[in-house]
Chains A and B, each alone.
Chain A
Amino acid sequence: MLGFAMRRLVQAMIVMLVVALLAFTLFRFVGDPVNQMVGVETSLEQREALRESLGLNDPVPVQFWRFISNAAQFDFGTSYQFRQPVSDLFAKRIPATLELSFVSALFALIVGIPMGVYAGLNRESAVSKLFLSVSLVGISLPTFLIGILLIFVFSVNLQWLPSFGRGETVQIGGWWTTGFLTVSGLKALILPSITLGLYQMTLIMRLIRAEMLEVIRTDYIKFARARGLPDRLVHFRHALKNTLIPVITITGLQLGAIIAFATITETVFQWPGMGLMFLQAVQNVDIPIMSAYLLLTAFLFVSINFIVDILYFLIDPRLRVERA
């Protein structure tokens, strides 16, 4: 177990290193950092002095090392647009994104898994076919369009729910703000989290259905039936458990994807999270924010993958023994 976890950890670190190299390349070589930081009237000497003080004349490996060690201490440089440290900007916006992603993921899992199991076990029933048709529509509607339609119906026409922002938030601890504790905060969460979770929900549902259908066809399920085991045991003890491995992998990836897709939802609902900030950075070529966002999301994804791998390990005895 420990050896397995260590190996995964090393792999995760290599991935992070590659991403860091990308982020560094972006940071250092896309556009000239000095040009972005100074005005037009700055003299050549002043520019050169700034260049020297930023360490831009050092050998590239030295600069890369400095970039990594700074990043490890949450120092991602200064935003070109806001003239503020990038880490402060992110700290202010992370709670909004994480709360939104958490609620969406919960929605996707709680609704998607039972629907998928049902559709896999009763593939011919009318309800399953309805689920399947709805899911296809869900996949075909782009996230932003779903957001717009929801706003159009529930905010503009019915005026039930707010169309933008987080509502009232409450400060917890030093820097975390939450929308969970106020009515307006919770109301503001509904539309964005449905928008964000719908696509993942359909994906999870379709995946579980496909896996169930596959497992139901295997010899050991046939053999379990031939032994006269009741459907309850066959379906839930044997079939469902065997579908879990691929499902956990994809679900893990999808949870990571939610954080990235939050960019779109946050734009539609003007949700003050880091996705919205990232998008503004892309539009304004604010490289420090872009590279910090890249590193941050990569870190989240790699952590999720690491947890998924460990879960894998706990479910599948074949892995356990091989590593022991």
Chain B
Amino acid sequence: MSVLDIRDLKVEFPGRKSTFVAVQGVHLEVEAGKILGVVGESGAGKSTVGNAVIGLLQEPGRIAQGEIRLHDDRIDTLPEKQKRHIRGRKIGMIFQDPLTSLDPLQTVESQLVETIRTHLPLSSSQARARAIELIDAVGIPNPSERISQYPHQFSGGMRQRVVIALALCAEPELVIADEPTTALDVSIQAQILELMKRLCADRNVAMMVITHDMGVIADITDHVAVMYHGKLVEYGETHQVLGAPQHRYTQSLISAVPRPDVRVERFPVVDYIEKAGKPAKQIDIATHWLGQTRDYTKTDGPLVEIEDLTMRFEVKGSLIPSRRKHFDAVKAVSFDIKEGETFGVVGESGSGKSTIARIITGLYHPTAGTIRFAGTDLTSLTNRRQILAMRRQMQMIFQDPYSSLNARMRVRDIIAEPIKFHRLASSNSEVRQIVEDLLDHVGLGAAAGKKFPHEFSGGQRQRISIARALATRPRFLLCDEPTSALDVSIQAQILNLLKDLQDELGLTMMFISHDLAVIRQMCNRIAVMKNGELCEVADCDTLFESPQHDYTRHLLKLMPSMELLSRANIETA
């Protein structure tokens, strides 16, 4: 018998003008000791399902139809007071961000004890003993000591363990985890998933995991429900849904997940969600502005040479030098990037990969080391005109499509700014023509120039960013996690676009990502970084087939296998 039974659920948010239906016609069941995954891209309504179950729908949301049963008892119609007795007692909840889920002013102990004593008839010393037991169970070393600490004394992964302990306080029958690992690094993510899987089996808890990540689904779930625009499009056993998807949306979603095992030339075209406009006119690069003036000095050696690059930040200033604290973001890193290749940099957060990109583009001034670009030492340049000439040759695409465009400027002004600033066009009408061609070329259409950035989706904004980067006719393009903020189907489109542009324009690229699968699809050579140090540099296939460094092997082991995922449609696409 299932622990949780959702039947024909419909959740709506009445607004002033119209009622927004967030979830419609959803049937789900979770059994004890099993994990159900709810997967979907942003806007799918998957979190709304979780919030509806625990009775914490954001105002003015309401359940308009259907029933939610916990062990055959309806819980969606209970009065608020009784719902509170179910929360925590029968249903535990795990939220996404462990950094903000805990009250910063209370010790872990007091948060655990108050939750335990709210639900169980225990004395405070019994509750404390139970709290220590729980902390131990979620794998935090020295439980009796650490329990009296405050949340900020724990790392992100440890805090998520505390959150899990809090969810398990009163032995709930059901645990709902809303993106439990999205805010964590890969290696921590693997540990937390392992822990959840183990707790689920040991305690015979039913678990519902809400995520956008196919890797998480493939790794730990028994059943999976695929949601799209508030509707359940596919539901079944995980190996079946991933192995032989029936619905077109599931198929395109799976095909868009980058493959970690084999390199494919292009991602299969995914147009179920957001169609990318085909360029209205084909540009002949040989004659077009974009292809002109390759006046850059030819180099025989590598295009970019980095030697002993070091970046030291002052963490804590002090008048006395010995009391200053430093943080070395990049430690004596050296590598070369050849003309025309895509050079990948992979690493977890804090590995210094983004810092390197920012040093190369001149956003940071390095503490030590040299950067040579086409034979010129960038660190020794002092003449502003020379610096500008170099800047023009390298451009950057940023991670966050929402903050990388100035919200107060029209798209055409955003793209025209670098052209005008570097005086790359002779007249205003020429600038306008170039901007329209660029917008057309990245798949947005010339008419997009009149609009403001907020009128576009994340993927479209990333296309605008790319158009802006191309507007200085760069030779070298740095991409700093260009797709990590995007849904996976959009990611595939953007990666395809980048590949196409590189082929056409002969760009050299440095591609930074935390996602090994993406790196594998995009790069010729790869550098692995950890804590500011370079672990190894190798050709793409060499790195994946026979990694030399321990850390590389560790990272590769953590990659979700995705073996379950059907690839049948890739060949047909």
Contact = CB atoms under 8 A, between A and B. Distances in A.
B118 interface: yes
Contacts of B101: 219-220, 223
Interface stretch (A87-95, A110-118, A155-163, A225-233): A225-233
Contacts of A227: 87-88, 92-93, 115, 118, 166-167, 169
Residue among B54, B95, B105, B153 with the highest chain A CB neighbour number at 10 A: B105
Given A222-B95, A226-B93, A227-B169, A233 B102 contact: no
A228 B84 contact: yes
A220 B104 CA distance: 9
Interface in B82-129: 84-89, 92-93, 95, 97, 100-107, 114-115, 118-119
B163 interface: yes
B154 to A, nearest CB: 12
B56 interface: yes
B152 interface: yes
Contacts of A78: none
Nearest to A231: B84
A280 interface: no
A10 to B, nearest CB: 11
B150 A318 contact: yes
B43 to A, nearest CB: 21
A316 interface: yes
Given A218-B100, A227-B88, A317 B150 contact: yes
Contacts of A223: 93, 95, 101-102, 163, 166
Given A230-B118, A315-B105, A225 B56 contact: yes
Nearest to B316: A322
B168 to A, nearest CB: 10
A83 interface: no
Interface string A41-62: 0000000000000000000000
Contacts of B107: 317
A214 to B, nearest CB: 13
B150 A238 contact: no
Nearest to A224: B103
Interface string A191-220: 000000000000000000000000000111
A224 B163 CA distance: 11
A30 interface: no
Contacts of A233: 114, 118
Contacts of B169: 227
A228 B82 CA distance: 10
Given A228-B85, A228-B89, A241 B105 contact: yes
Contacts of B170: 228
Contacts of A242: 103-105
A319 to B, nearest CB: 10
Contacts of B89: 228
B272 to A, nearest CB: 33
Contacts of A318: 104, 150, 152
A233 B110 CA distance: 12
Given A233-B114, A233-B118, A321-B150, A228 B103 contact: no
B104 A237 contact: no
Contacts of B114: 229, 233, 237
B152 A228 contact: no
A237 B85 contact: no
Given A238-B106, A315-B105, A316-B105, A219 B100 contact: yes
A219 B166 CA distance: 14
B549 to A, nearest CB: 35
Contacts of A228: 84-89, 115, 118-119, 170
Given A225-B56, A317-B152, A220 B87 contact: no
Interface of B: 54, 56, 84-89, 92-93, 95, 97, 100-107, 114-115, 118-119, 150, 152-153, 163, 166-167, 169-170
Chain A to chain B: the 6 pairs with minimum beta-carbon distance, closest first: A228-B88, A228-B87, A226-B93, A219-B100, A227-B88, A317-B150
Given A222-B56, A229-B118, A318-B152, 4 more contacts: A219-B101, A220-B100, A230-B84, A317-B150
19 contacts: A218-B100, A219-B97, A223-B163, A223-B166, A226-B87, A226-B95, A227-B88, A227-B92, A227-B93, A227-B115, A227-B118, A227-B167, A228-B118, A233-B118, A238-B103, A238-B106, A242-B104, A317-B105, A321-B153
